[in-house]
Amino acid sequence: MEVAGSSKKMIATQEEMVNAKVPIPYRDQCAHLLIPLNKCRQAEFYLPWKCEPERHTYEKCEYELVMERMLQMQKIREQEAKLKHGQKQGSIPLIPKTANA
């Protein structure tokens, strides 16, 4: 499944996420990594040092998604700034310049 505006694909299906009881806010392109992480956490009684490889993989995926969204927002802001700047140059100035100034 392709997600609009993202370079990452959805790997986990809705059915898999429902069966794994993944909360709705966490059902993103990294959910396929969260499912085994949560299984590991439950098996190891949530001891933080037991599932480090799974946790780091999941956190890296989430970080990459955030950075991708930040870059997209930066591009949108740059485009908006160019449009606003282009409109200012072609408009009539509010204070006219004098001939000798």
Name the domain count of the chain: 1
- Is 100 within the bounds of a domain? no
* Amino acid identity, position 68: E
pLDDT for the residue 82 = 87
Burial bucket for residue 58 (CB in 10 Å: 0-12, 13-18, 19+): buried
User: Tens place of pLDDT for every residue, the chain, 101 residues?
Assistant: 777 777 889 999 999 999 999 999 999 999 999 999 999 999 999 999 999 999 999 999 999 999 999 999 999 999 998 888 776 555 565 666 666 65
Query: Could you tell me the residue range of the domain that residue 22 belongs to?
Result: 14-84
Task: Tell me whether residue 57 is in a domain.
Answer: yes
Whether 89 is covered by a domain: the verdict is no
Instruction: Examine residue 2 and state whether it is found in any structural domain, yes or no.
Output: no
| Chain mean position to CA 14 | 19
* Residue 76 is assigned to a structural domain of this protein: yes
